[in-house]
Chain A
Amino acid sequence: GESVGLHLPTLSVQEGDNSIINCAYSNSASDYFIWYKQESGKGPQFIIDIRSNMDKRQGQRVTVLLNKTVKHLSLQIAATQPGDSAVYFCAEKGWGGSNYKLTFGKGTLLTVNP
């Protein structure tokens, strides 16, 4: 079946560095993607989203890039801070037969070293 996956399960960076988290998707019909941040013991927190008619979208310290040719999505975090340490999930919105639903990737654990 269709799936959304991540290349790197863990990422360790130094405080102040930029972080890049990658995600590959397989459903070429997907037209909406979201990045979520999940801290330990908490629910996912919306970070940024992007539609398939865009290649890039920027937020506060975060940028999402979408490459539809190779079905690849990335999240860039500028000047990474210790508070950014969490698991990051990409999610793909697709039609589930009766409703739209999100399919989550496996997640990447980001650790920021002070």
Chain B
Amino acid sequence: GAVVSQHPSRVICKSGTSVKIECRSLDFQATTMFWYRQFPKQSLMLMATSNEGSKATYEQGVEKDKFLINHASLTLSTLTVTSAHPEDSSFYICSANRVGTDTQYFGPGTRLTVL
């Protein structure tokens, strides 16, 4: 149990376009989901915390108008990178907290490449 999926696994887009990444908890409900960004050979950096039915909480330095987060149900959160630029190229990873537990389960990640 506790499987988190992400779609797509890889995406290549042109500069200036928007990209949507989905994060789903497949076999459990998650009131809270998290979005991380990871650059090569670096650690995971939390971008935002997404609570079902409410606005996301963004970390300092993360532009909320550029990284749109929607958490419309207990099993789905989406991250939209708007007007993507090459510097947004990164590995985006989501995680979900199983209701009633402290453990975060991570998705497989989405590799975004902006040309």
Task: Name A residues whose Cβ lies closer than 8 Å to a Cβ of B.
Answer: 32, 34, 36, 41-46, 49, 89, 93, 96-107
Contact = CB atoms under 8 A, between A and B. Distances in A.
A96 B114 CA distance: 31
Given A41-B109, A41-B111, A44-B44, A98 B102 contact: no
Nearest to A1: B60
Contacts of B111: 41
B49 A98 contact: yes
Nearest to B10: A41
Looking at chain B's contact residues, is the secondary structure mostly helix, strand, loop, or mixed?
strand
Nearest to B51: A99
- Overall SS of chain A's interface: strand
B21 to A, nearest CB: 13
A96 B48 CA distance: 11
Nearest to A93: B102
Contacts of A32: 102
Contact of A102 (B4, B104, B107): B104
Nearest to A103: B46
